[in-house]
Structure 1
Amino acid sequence: MVDAVNPVVVESAAALARHLRQGRDRRLAVLEWFAEAGMPVRPGAAAVPEPAIGAVRQALVWALERLVSQRLVALARSAAGAGEEGQDALYAAADRVLGAYRGAAHPALVRAALEAGEDVPVDAEGDLRSMVHLVAAVGLGMQEVGSDALAEAFAAFGMFGLTVEDWSQMLGAAERGEVSPVDWGQLQRHTDLVGQVQQAADEELVRARTVLLGLRGFYGLYLLHGPLLPGTPAQAALRQRIDDLGIFPLLDHVIAINPSPGQFAESLAVCLEPFYDNLYETLMEQLAEAPAIFRIPGDETGVVGFGETWLGTVRELPAPGRAVDGGADDGPGEQSAKKS
């Protein structure tokens, strides 16, 4: 009888058991299992079987409906007919949520501080409170918020290196009819993560997972420049591509290195957008052009020598840099955990 048991059934049961604990909702375990099944298979290890995609979709919807961000979107939509009191409640709630966000400090600043033996910055400078205007635009409409407030909100995101003045000029030109009008309905559709997951095809959910896990790897590599990852031409080229695109703030907002199931669900829903799929393909093309990420030129020991060089660099850090907030031992996972 034992020989007749389907190995996939056994492996599926084992995968679920790894993530299921007493008193824990099964849907959280399904999300972690789905994430694990998308990870690369280690040499000699068996591939993790996929959970039923129907169960994955149900778990995604369940997790998304409980997110603070989605409750905020629901509040924004309800504020449209609630008068001034509803608008005040929306702005107050959005300010509390967005003001608590703490992004990672830029890796270049972290690296410079470590090398100089200075205090290591933990969080990104500034906050995202001005993005409350984007939330308001979802429910109240762009006309109620105004282009100046929206320009401030887009600039707070830090994407593409554009300033408030840059955004004001573009939005103002759209208002005056000098360029194509902005489709604000698209903004409203993109904030409905639950609807996007419900409407996505099965293969789109799997593809979004591929995109998310790939972008997580690129984001992690970019972050590791901070804790003194030895430089290689391939790494420099990858960081330069990300800098040229101006998308580190975007990755920092969307990606978490060690996400909770809720964070994973939110990021996966975001990665259903074609923009992120195209971004993933662009960075994969860069990696294909320069794949020797962990090989120092002239070092014949390859990855082993790379690791030894990194450890040696960390050991030689000035004492103050090591002592601040965990110093060089704080990798990107620690920084990501500080996000709300």
Structure 2
Amino acid sequence: MNQPPAPHGRHLDAAPELIRVLVAHPLPERAAALSQQLTDAAIHCRCAPTLEEALRELEPAVDVVLAAESLSSCALEALTAAIRQQSLPAKLIALCRRPTLAKAVRALRTGASDLLAEPVDEVELAAAVVSAAEQARQQRRLLQELETLRHQAEQLEEAHTQVADHLDALCDELTDTCASLAEQVDELAQSAPDLRARLAGVLDVEAALRIVLEHVLNCIGPTNAAIFLPGDSGDFNLGAYVNYDCDKDSVDVLLDHLADVLAPAFAEENAVVQLRDAAEQRTWLDEDAAWLQAYPHLLVAACHDSDGDCLAVMALFRDATTPFGEQARDALVEIRDAFAARLAQIMRIHHRLAKTQNPQDPEWGGAADDEGGLAA
């Protein structure tokens, strides 16, 4: 038997998915005839002779239900209710032997998508079933999309909860960090006055060096530290140092070399310079950075007077396992400023004393043999 043409010019055999139909009809011969017509149109179908069996056969895979009015006085209502309760995408087509306007209205109000008169033409039957199946599959796709969206919404809600909890934890951590930083700032703010108070009245450079290095260890912790003082000819000499973990046999050679290369390299710098690796050291010291190969972490601060002249260069250096933090750098800024202020005052006092004791010094209008410089 030839298959009927599909609606809108599309051949039924080319349907991308198999259409599944449930035929609910109490008359076996009519059910068999409908089943054969659908099978000839490449439509899969099953038959249910009673309402109860039809309700049992309902499942998500069913696209269309063909229900005869003779099945039961409430067959359409019962099948429609079952489809809605189970959230099935199936569409219902009512079959009746003597269709009337009242029957059509009742079927449509019940939820049927179409009403066909029996016996139905195979072309009309196939067209109605294909149309209803397309509606059912569109509804099925919408239901799947809604389920996907629901699942995504649940995932987003869960992610939102996790992010909110994480943000709360971060806020708590940030609050604690801010409080800790505030305490550190207070400590730094207090450390400078403490150092200035300890340096007040100190007229000896060596005493000032000792106080400053003690303050460095108290504020910054264990570290190798050296202070270089300028001499008469523009060179630098080692003023004082703290040996934390340098080799005792070679530390003197190392510090003398740093006085020759490191101190001049940073003498004009106004900011505290922090170097974190060998590459940064090479940028400043070229090949001489090899002397600090074992100490990649470096803090350097030059002390200047109000005229911009260098009074001292402070260098702190550590090995790769103990880098300097931002707190150490900030502390060194305060230490440098306090030390520079005191050194400048000591210089002024020494100059006044030199003028009083050596009035013939050429710097003061006469001959003198006094040596300048700050090397202790």
Which bracket does the TM-score occupy, shorter chain normalised? under 0.3
Structure showing greater relative contact order (alpha-carbon pairs closer than 8 Å, 6 or more residues apart): 1
- Structure of greater Rg: 2
For normalisation by structure 2, the TM-score amounts to 0.24
TM-score, normalisation: structure 1: 0.26
Richer in strand (by share) = 2
